[in-house]
Each structure stands twice: as structure tokens, then as C-alpha cells.
Chains A and B, each alone.
Chain A
Amino acid sequence: MSVLRVIHQWWLVCAIAALPAIAADAVSLVIHSADPGVTVQPADGPARPAVPWRVVGASERVCFPKAGARVSLRRSDRAGDFDYPAPQAGCWTGAEIALSLRGSEHRSSREVVRQLRAILGIDRQGAHSPSTAAARDGANAFCRVTAYTDWLVLDQLGGLSMPVTAGTSATLTPLAPDGTPAAPPIAIGQTGGEIVLPAIGAPGQVFQLAIRGGLQDDTCTLRLRVVAGAQHSGVAPAPQASGSDAQEAAWQAAVHALRLVENHGRAWSLEAMRQIAPHRAVREAEQAHDHLARPNRTCANTESTEHPTRFDAPLLRASTSLLRAGQRSLFVAWRGGLPPFRVTLAREGDPTPIAELSELKGCEAFLPATDLTAGQYRLEIADRRSYVFPEASLLVVVKQAAPPASDGAEVATWLAQAQWLAEQDDGRWRFSALQDVAARLGELPEAEAWIARNGRPPALSPAVQ
């Protein structure tokens, strides 16, 4: 029996090493003890002291007056208490604290299997799977993209198909110039895991596409703008010579579509997919379509804060970033980390944020408009595990000093000026240059390209590098 006992223990050790899976659902926390000054902030209502036996819901926040302040908690679904020391002064939701209990080594067995498949090369790379990209990723990809501009489609919507998850429904509503509905919404059914838009619309017309999925993250509203193909040279697909090889034509269409998004910005993703649609019978075109249907999955990681993309914000990579005072809606872009993200802007030394955005799925955001007066501010971008990237993020708002300006200020040299500004004083004005460029996002495709070059991974780079 001793041999059996040894074998059994060995088996347990193997199992521990192979399948460490502890689910991390949003659960409540029960406070056992807390340092003085720690408070619980309900979703609606005044903050209350964190007293023993107080239950903290997943959406309630625990606020710490200083770094290192501790609270002893127990997850409602776990045995044993754990201490949560605040990495810095600020507030964290119950869900974020509960997740911090998971170390980076804790992965679900499904994730382990997925990674093993990826390592062994038996993942879906190269496979011609009948399931859609959305179905495989388990989400409606276009709902996970920060929408600061309209999605552009040439001439009409006909032929555009978007992969969605099972159970997703959609409605398409024509909009008047003032943004109000111009006609009753058109219900769009799901066919084979995709929604196919009807052949309607004329250049200049705007539509609202409401996608409603099973999960909260799969529900969103997109604005689609139909633009005239004749006015956008290089965007419309090249005409195909009659009798040309179907495979050759598909390759050319795929290359053109990928270049369209790479060169003109991801607002053209839907048009690129529309151009590829007739060629999807060819494997390479289907792969390109699949690739385009996941336009934002590469900006953040799925498993670890640092892999495969390091959690970083190159546009903030300076010892100090200078900004001019005034009413500003700051644009912030980063990469890596684990969504959802939280961005907070607070005065240095004051834990209460003056602008804050949370539950961000993408890697960029405009913060709410804030009146920035002279002084020092701290900008923090935290991911799901409350990991704040180590780059300095001190913003100094200066009252009088104008940023350095180059001689040429024509529109044609606008981007060059932004680039020049970004390189001045060891990058101190880079964040300020980003604000100038971001102000014209959606207006000029070059603005998106500049941001992509300087601080955001390209929209189409592969997920696993």
C-alpha cells in the first residue's frame, strides 16, 4: 500500500502542476478587519467606514487613504482570509480586489488547454474552420473597439457581413443629419453566425447599427457612414480583368483590403471586409476577412499583464509630460495589460480622481473634459489586476508657457509639427502633441496613423507575436 500511497501523492503533485484552475467570477467580499481610514463606496450613496462583517459587492469600491493601507477580506466563495494591501492611495472595486487574489500563475484549465494547443501548433491557425471569428473569440469583436469615429463604407452597405456570436440580433436605423432616426429601424437577422447588411444607403448617409448580444460586452451601437467611392482614390477596389484567375483575384482583394486598413485607419475595416466578401470561398481571402473581423484583439493581452505585449504607454514615456492649462478632454493610448482598464487623472497628492474612466475594453480613451489648472497631475492606467505600468505618468500643466513651435504651421506640415513637438525636451511634449493629433481623429486618417506609429500597436498585427 505504501507504493500506492507514493503513487497517489505523485499523481497529486502532477495534477497540481498541470491543472491549477480557480475560477475568478465576480463575487462579494466580507471584510474582517481594515486599517483606519479605509472606506467602502457603494455604487450610489455615501462612503461608509470599512467595518468588520461589511459585505463589499463586486461593483462597490474600497478606498484606501494611502499606499500600504490594508484590509483583511474573505471571498464569499472561498475559505480563508487574505490581506489586500493598497498599492497606492485610491479606490478599487470588489471585483478587482477579488481578482487580485488570483496570482498570475493561476489559470483556468480551459486557458491551459488553449495555450497548450497554441504551443503544439494545433490551434486554429491555418485551419479552415466553419465557425466565425466572433464565435471562436466568444465576443462581438466590433463591440470591443473604442468608437471615436464612424465606420466608413463606400457607396452602399450591400455585401457587408459581420461575424457575431450566437444569439446576437441587430437593427439598422437610418439617421437624419441631426442624428435623429430618419426612418424606422430595420431588423437584421443572423445567418450562419453573421449579420448581413442590406444594400441600401447613398453617399453621405449615416446609419446606426445596434448590436445586441447575450453578454453586456457584446452589446453596442456603431455609426456607419456611407461615403462616395469616387472621392476616395485608392480606397475602392481595383477593377478585376474578366477571365482572371479567381484565386489570384482573391489574393489581390485580400492584399488591397489589408492595406486599406493599414494605411487609412481601422475606420475602414468594414469596407475592407465588404471588398473581400465576394472572394471568401478562397481560403486566403477568408483568413483575411477573419483577421479584419477581429480589429482590436491585439492591443491587450488575454492571459498575463506582460505577455505577449508589455503593458506600456509609449506616448507617456517621459519623466514628465507637459500640457497647457485649460478645459481639456485628454486622449490616452496604451498597449498590453489585461482588459478591462481603468484610467484615472488626479492631482498629485490627492487620491480623489478629477477624471476617471473604467471598464474600458480597448486601449485608448478620451477622458471626460476637465478644467486643468497649473499644477502636477498623476495619470494612471490600471488593468484588471490593478497593475499600473511602471512608466512615470506625471503630467505638469503649465499656465503660461507655450509649447515650442516650428516655423511652418501650414496644414500640410501639421503632422510633421506634431512629430517635432513630440521629440522636444526628451519627450516632455509628446503627450501634448498626442492631444493635438487626437483632436483630429476621425477627420484625418493620418491622425490615426500617427498615433498608431507612435504609441499603439497597428490594428492588424497578429495576436501572438
Chain B
Amino acid sequence: MLSPVNAYWNVLLILALTVCVWLVGCIAEQLPAVVERLKQHGATLVEPLRQRYRTWSHYWQHFAVCFALGIAIETALHLAHGLGPVALWQRWGFDKTVSLLQTYRALGWIDREPLHSDYSGFVWVDIDEVSWSDPRWGGGEPFLQPRREVFKLVDRAFDWGARVVYVDLLLDGKSGEIERQWLAKLHDRRFADGKPRHLLAARSLRQPPAGRSPSNEAHAAPELPRLRPAFWDAYQAPASGVRVHPVLPHFRPDSDLLVRRWSIGQTAAIGDASRFLPSPQLALYCLQPGRHPSLAAWCQRLAETRERADSETTKHGEEHTDHNPLASTLLFPFGSQEGYQKGDLGYGLFPALSVLIKADAPIDEFRNAIVVIGSSYEESRDHFYTPVGRLPGALLNLNALDTMLRHGQLHELPWQAKWPLALTLIVLVAALFAFGNRLMATVIAGGLVAAGFIFVIGPLLLRQGLWFDFGAPMLGILLHRNIEEFIAARQREKASADGHADHPAH
């Protein structure tokens, strides 16, 4: 049903369209005169330049065109950043770079750098098809994750020296005797070095009912999603022991339905208060002392609990994402073992069953590691399509944890470095095409692009978390080739029309 407000808007829209049509008509009337005037002015401005241009040699003319083309493309890319086809092109470039880097690292061409922290690395305890269907895992193919077995995995991880354990399994719900006993034991756990250990527990939110959404009740304050109760809520963290952090893992698909971005956290209602709940990667990042200012502000919010106020709910009720898409973008250093063909995974992968039955000795890789307990069996329905293929949710989280721990948030290359680099590339490519053989120029420019991917973009992304859009020279090469072919075709056509078909133009 059309509401009165919508009816007013429609009338206004029709009026605006009428005005627009009238304006267009006026402009169309004046257009020939305006064009003529522009031609006259343009001729007086351009003519001296054209005269000068004609005095240059063929090679320098060619170079100037290529250079101008490169600058135009780079400027257009800069201005059209994030818009339509340009965004698609940039996204494609980013995906390919990330995918190539992952392959190169799996093959061992790029050395994996150790984490710049006390952690030894990542370990994924994978509830795979075999573990899930084994009778020792909750009787085999359990409908819900068997808590007793999950608790055993957590205990083993801490016993074997893990610093952080992230349980990427939903264990929300009421607590029974098993949970109470286990929490009591967890509370009494102490470690030889006296340092606390951290358990990140994935939680879920109960969304407000659809009938009470703000679109239908314009003047009502929107409701916050509410944190589902879980047995973890009863846990009181000791000063030095295991601390439990509730986290909200959430990833955002782009318009092509591929997941590239994370949500940094979400504000949810807990009782009568609201609280900011972090994503696992933010929670992990905030455990370390050195923080980037932009992320330090988020870390500060973790300790805050706000009384609910109507004015605040709208502000914080939605997911928190950064305005710059790159800041919430994941790198994908880790792929699944299916796609690697014996390549280097970059993390330790242990089926949950192997950890369950390993009772006699610790697994060395767990010492000082960040352990993620998550599932990959098909029936878990926890899979995402990403630029590097279909990944289980746990592996997506592993990639997010690694990205955040290494780089915080990704950033564009600063303009002081970006523009000189782009200019150098434009000059190089323009010189290649102007002074060299066309085939050789294409080959060398292609080599430049390939080398740039491996030696410039790769290290920048991997070590500094800095992204540089490398598409401009490639676009330039493509465009230049197309223009040349178009001109050659025009000349051939002209020659043919003049009756000189047997003397094709060069």
C-alpha cells in the first residue's frame, strides 16, 4: 500500500523530471553555438602546441602520446576509484595478486615470514569428514558439536602450550553438569610461566523480529540484536589463567558473492546494556601491546559497556565496517589442502580425531601457537566462496587472524610513493612502445608487470600490508595496442578506398 509520505515524494519526482526535460531542451538549442565557440577557442590554444608537436621526430611523438595516455589512465583510475567497472577491474587485480601470492608461497618461492609476535604460528584442528563421522566424535555424525570432545580439544591445546585457542564452533545454549565441571576446571588452570591464556569463543546474535523493523515503524527506535545466552557467560576469568573472550565472526560478500571483507565487530544487547563484541581477529589483535591508532580505538571499546539509550541504538546497532573497503579486506595467505597439491600450507593442520587420540605425547606445533578449532565437513554448511576458492569458515577465520596480526588493516600505498612509482612505470612503458619494436615492447612490458607482481606488489602486501593498484600499465598496454590496431585498420581502409590495396599503409 502506498503511504502518504511516498505519494508526496512521487509528485516531487515528477516535477523534478519535468524541470530536467525543459533544461535539456534549452541546452540542446544552444549546443551548436557553444560547440562552435569552443572550437574557435580550442584552435587558438591547441594550434601552437600542434605546430610544436609536428617538429618532433616520429619516436618522440609516439612517446608523448603514450605518456599522455598513461597519465590520463592513471588519473582517471584515481578519480574513478571504487566506481563501477573500475572497481571491478581493481577487485580483479587484487584477487589475482592475492591468489598468485598464495600459490607462490605454497610452492615455496616466497618465504613465509614468521609472525612478529611471541606466537609460533597457526594450527588448525579440523573437524573434517573423517573426524565428524567417526564414532569417537560424539558417536559419529552428531547433529550438534559434542561438547565433551570439543572441551577435550581445548584442554589438549592448552596442555600442549597453545597461547590462544579460538573455538569456531557455536556452543551457545544452556549449561549442564558437564559444562559446569569443565568451566570450574578451566577456572583453576594455571600455567608454569604465570602468563594468562586466551580462549576466543564464537558467539551468535538473536536478530530482532522482522515485524518490528524500523521500516514499518518509522518513529520507533530500532532494536539491537541480542547476544544469545551461552554457558560461557557464567565464567569468571581469573587474573592469571584462562580468559574467555566472546567474539562474533562475520564476513561480508561483495556484489559478486565472493567473500573478501570482514566485519570488525558488532554492538549487541546484553541484558539492559549494550556492548561492542569484536570479531576474532580484532580480539586477537587487541591482546598484543603495540597497536595501530585506528585499531586501538576499537580495542578501547572492548572494555566499554553502555547503558542502552534510544539515540545510541541506531548508531551502533549495525555492523561496524570501515569506509575504506581495503581496510576490512583480508589477504588470503592460507588455502585449503585440496587446492595445494602437496604445497606448503603455512599452518599446522591436524584432524580433530588425530588430536583426540594423541594421548601419549604433546604435538610440538601447539607450543606458543594460535589454535583454531573449526569444522570443514560438508554438512557443517560453513563454507564461503573467496578469491582463492571455496574455503571452510575456520580457514577464512585463520586468514583473517593472520592478516590482522601481521598488518592490522590493509592500506593503499601512500601517494608520495604511489605517484612516483606510477610515473616511472608510465615513462618506462611509454619509452618501450615509442622506441622499441611493438612485439618486444609488449613482451618486456608484460615481463615488467609480472616482475612487478612478484617483486613489488608481493613484498608490499606481505610485509607492509600496502596495496598498489598495478592495473594502470596493463590497461595502458592494452589500450595502446587497440588504438594502434584501430589506426592501422583505418589506414588500410583508406588505402583500399583510394585503390592502393596492394600497398598497405604502415
Residues of A within 8 A of B (CB): 1, 3-4, 7-8, 11, 15-16, 19-23, 26-28, 30, 42-43, 45, 48, 51, 53-55, 57-58, 60, 76-80, 82, 109
Contact = CB atoms under 8 A, between A and B. Distances in A.
Contacts of B104: 15
Contacts of A45: 360-361
A268 B501 CA distance: 91
Name A's interface SS.
loop
A27 to B, nearest CB: 7
Given A54-B354, A57-B361, A77 B449 contact: no
B132 to A, nearest CB: 13
A77 B344 contact: yes
Contacts of A23: 108, 111-112, 344
B354 A78 contact: no
Contacts, number: 113
Given A22-B108, A27-B348, A53-B130, A79 B363 contact: no
Given A55-B350, A77-B348, A7 B364 contact: no
B92 to A, nearest CB: 13
Given A11-B450, A43-B361, A76 B348 contact: yes
B361 A109 contact: no
Most chain B Cβ neighbours within 10 Å, of A3, A8, A78: A78
B348 A28 contact: yes
Contact of A58 (B340, B348, B355, B364): B364
Contacts of A19: 108-109
A3 B443 contact: yes
Contact of B446 (A8, A27, A53, A77): A8
A330 B346 CA distance: 44
A456 B239 CA distance: 60
Contacts of B372: none
B447 A30 contact: no
A28 B365 contact: yes
Contacts of B109: 15-16, 19-21, 109
B342 A28 contact: no
Chain B contact-residue range equals 35 or more
A76 B121 CA distance: 13
A15 B362 CA distance: 38
Contacts of A1: 478
A347 B279 CA distance: 61
Interface string B360-374: 111111000000000
Interface in B82-108: 104, 106-108
A1 B363 CA distance: 48
B17 to A, nearest CB: 43
B442 interface: yes
A55 B363 contact: yes
A78 B349 CA distance: 8
Contacts of B360: 42, 45, 48
B357 interface: yes
A49 to B, nearest CB: 12
B349 A76 contact: yes
A295 to B, nearest CB: 32
Nearest to A80: B342
A78 B344 contact: yes
B153 to A, nearest CB: 13
Contacts of A76: 348-350, 363, 365
B345 interface: yes
B454 interface: yes
B384 interface: no
B130 A82 contact: no
A57 B364 contact: yes
Contacts of B506: none
A16 B451 CA distance: 14
Given A53-B354, A55-B363, 19 more contacts: A1-B478, A7-B450, A11-B450, A15-B109, A21-B108, A21-B111, A23-B111, A28-B348, A28-B364, A53-B353, A53-B357, A55-B354, A60-B361, A77-B344, A77-B346, A77-B349, A77-B365, A79-B337, A79-B343
Most chain B Cβ neighbours within 10 Å, of A15, A23, A27, A55: A55
Contacts of B361: 42-43, 45, 57, 60
B347 interface: yes
A28 B125 CA distance: 13
A131 B386 CA distance: 48
The 4 residue pairs across chains A and B that have the minimum distance between CB atoms: A79-B340, A79-B337, A80-B342, A7-B446
Contact of A15 (B344, B363, B454): B454
B351 interface: yes
A43 B337 CA distance: 30
B338 interface: yes
Nearest to B336: A79
B294 interface: no
B108 A3 contact: no
Nearest to A8: B450
A202 to B, nearest CB: 46
A299 to B, nearest CB: 30
B358 interface: yes
B341 interface: yes
A80 B449 contact: no
10 contacts: A4-B449, A11-B447, A20-B109, A48-B360, A60-B361, A76-B349, A79-B343, A80-B337, A80-B340, A109-B111
B357 A54 contact: yes
Contacts of A30: 350-351, 354
Contacts of B348: 27-28, 76-77
Given A3-B442, A28-B363, A55 B341 contact: no
A89 B451 CA distance: 49
Interface in B273-298: none
A19 B107 CA distance: 9
Interface string B434-456: 00000000110011011100100
A382 B346 CA distance: 30
Given A27-B348, A53-B351, A55-B363, A82 B342 contact: yes
A451 to B, nearest CB: 38
A1 B477 CA distance: 10
A109 to B, nearest CB: 7
Contacts of B107: 16, 20, 22
B340 A54 contact: no
B446 A3 contact: yes
A228 to B, nearest CB: 50
Contacts of B447: 7, 11
B497 to A, nearest CB: 31
A43 B342 CA distance: 28
Nearest to B351: A53
A444 to B, nearest CB: 45
Contact of A77 (B339, B347, B474): B347
A15 B447 CA distance: 12
A73 to B, nearest CB: 12
A214 to B, nearest CB: 15
Nearest to B339: A79
Contacts of B343: 78-80
A318 B108 CA distance: 43
Most chain A Cβ neighbours within 10 Å, of B130, B339, B363, B474: B363
A20 B353 CA distance: 33
A12 to B, nearest CB: 9
Nearest to A6: B446
Nearest to A9: B450
Nearest to A45: B360
Nearest to B356: A53
A37 B481 CA distance: 67
Contacts of B338: 79
A76 B109 CA distance: 19
Contacts of B344: 22-23, 77-78
